[in-house]
Chains A and B, each alone.
Chain A
Amino acid sequence: MVPIGNYLFLSLALFIIGVIGVLTRRNVIVILMSIELILNAVNINLVAFSRHWANVDGQIFTLFIITDAAAEAAVGLGIIIAFFKNRETVLADEMDLLKW
């Protein structure tokens, strides 16, 4: 059996990659993908802990997070399309109408 530390390390690495992606990428769609990476890091964590504690709550939580990620992607792409129709761009640094 693989020790739980390995899973946690993998998930932490995924989480950090996701955070760096959100903070550094320009393309809105890539930012959404990075957010999915963060949620998948959470899922790995939950399933590993679920195995570790031998109870099923974590796996149920995972199912809910997958559902939530799907809903978020649907709403997110809808908003991106509405934005693209008006502005013809998906680059985050060209969202510049609103600023102080």
Chain B
Amino acid sequence: MPTWAQFMDALWQGLPLIKPELQLTLWGIGILLTDFFLEERHKYWNAIVALIGVAFSAVELWVLRLEMVKQRAPYFSGFNDSVRVDPFFIYFGFIFLAATALVILISVRYLEIEHEHRGEYYALMLFATVGMMFMASGYDLITLFISLETMALSFYILVGFLRKERRSNEGALKYLLLGAFSSGILAYGFSVLYGLSGSTNLSDIANALALRPLNDMLVVLALVTVSAGLFFKIAAVPFHMWAPDVYEGAPTSITAYVSVASKAASFAMLMRLFLVPFWPVRANWEMLFAAVALATMTVGNFAALTQTNIKRLLAYSSIAHVGYMLLGMVAMNETGMKGIAFYLFAYAFMTIGAFAVVILLRRKGLIGDELEDMNGLIHRHPGAAILMLIFLLSLAGIPPTAGFMGKWLIFWALIETKHYYLAIFGALYILPAVYYYLRIVVHMWMTDVTDPELPTISPAQWVALAAAVILVLGAGLYPEPFIKLATYSVILPLAR
């Protein structure tokens, strides 16, 4: 039994490792406190405070990275190995922080229009980010589960944030019911994993699973329940039905956040779980992932063809993107992991960019999320139309954009591992994708203006749009540094 003094020592040694999360938590609580003193028209200060919190967290994350380089350590582990700070975590941590910052920037004006400008919104965003960061750094079943729930509970509230809007209520309720259901299934899988190994540490579980025969019933049960729970979270077929409803119902800024950050965090957790504890039984899940990836691409791409609501269309397109990322898991080699990391990076910025343009159309009395609302955007606001075109080209995977590089890496990984059929299917599915993205473009460029009012863009939205478009084009035109970053993040399955 450790003594009290030993316990406190371990705590003090662990604390520096979770400083990024601590910063976010404290700033989030700070927003909740200062929100009381702000008048209605000064609520934008909450957004500024939240941005400062994100910046401080990013600085702490950078300090951790420098320290890791200086000590030449492959990773730092703290709190009895329940948190691991490794390049994987740092890469994903920066994606989460960048996504949070961009979403804060596009939220301010949107919330003012909706008359729901409250401090809780930003506080919950920061708390959700805390959950995501621990999902990427957690190395223990308890840490992973609690961080997942921290993120999910914050999102349930954020999706239902427009309390008077029926669609928002309904989206939140569906998200809550299906999210809680999937968490329950995931927790059941975790309990079986604990039963198999007698430990909640991921490395111990991996060692215990390595000693089991491949077709052991309990291993299969754990595998099926854990992957079902995670497929729910990343919205892979057959567990994708919540995504379009939640995306359409949620405030558009939160739609962007759910589709980017929650997906990236769930993917980080999925990679951590399947590359460490489930790595010894990879023969069992390779076919499962291939089948799910194919089904996800099929349903996502074909269901998107008939949508008339942009948010729903982007929801189905994001389901299709999940299919491509899952193909990277099927390849199971370094290029595949690198491809997923890069793809998530590209996906994050092009999706936030596209939703930011949709938000521009929101004004009093117009939700602005139907395809018709885009009519003639090129005449009403050429800048917004061109930005949207770039994001859509990237989403479709057309060079020279980041989306193309992501797909290229995934296909390359599949060819390296001789999964030719999957690569061919993935490439063919770009055709329907191009069709439904071009439908938006046709509405923007080739239809007459039906709605003469001009959209306006606030300075914060300009910053977010500019950052997103620079990253999408930058990572497409000059991908080397970004690919290097992604490579740096994937040492996972090899170094246990």
Q: Do A and B bind each other?
A: yes
Seen from chain A, the residues whose Cβ lies within 8 Å of a Cβ on chain B are 8, 11, 15, 18-19, 22, 28, 31-32, 35, 38-39, 41-42, 45-46, 48-49, 52-53, 55, 57-58, 60-61, 64-65, 68, 71-72, 75-76, 78-80, 82-83, 86-87, 92, 95, 97-100
From B153, B156, B160, B195, contact of A52 by CB (8 A): B195
A-B contact pairs, 28 of them (CB 8 A): A15-B188, A18-B184, A31-B181, A32-B177, A41-B188, A45-B191, A53-B198, A57-B142, A57-B194, A57-B199, A58-B194, A58-B200, A61-B142, A61-B190, A64-B142, A72-B180, A72-B183, A75-B157, A78-B157, A79-B157, A79-B176, A83-B169, A86-B164, A87-B169, A87-B170, A97-B166, A97-B167, A98-B170
B380 within 8 A of A: no
Contacts of A65 in B (CB 8 A): 145, 187
Q: Number of contacts between A and B (CB, 8 Å)?
A: 131
Cα of A35 to Cα of B173 in the assembled complex, Å: 14
Given contacts A31-B181, A82-B163, A95-B174, 19 further A-B contacts (CB under 8 A): A15-B188, A32-B177, A38-B188, A45-B188, A45-B192, A49-B195, A49-B198, A57-B198, A61-B200, A65-B187, A71-B149, A72-B183, A75-B153, A78-B157, A79-B169, A83-B169, A87-B169, A99-B245, A100-B312
Most chain A CB within 10 A, of B160, B188, B192, is at B188
Cα of A76 to Cα of B187 in the assembled complex, Å: 18
- Taking chain A's interface residues, is the majority helix, strand, or loop, or is none over half, making it mixed? helix
* A88 → chain B closest CB, angstroms: 11
B353 within 8 A of A: no
Q: Are B181 and A35 in contact (CB under 8 A)?
A: yes
Contact mask for chain B residues 235-250; partner A; CB cutoff 8 A; 1 contact, 0 none: 0000000001100110
Given the contacts A45-B191, A98-B170, A98-B171, A28 and B177 also touching, CB distance less than 8 Å: yes
Cα of A53 to Cα of B200 in the assembled complex, Å: 12
The closest CB in chain A to the CB of B187 belongs to A42
Most chain B CB within 10 A, of A18, A38, A42, A92, is at A42
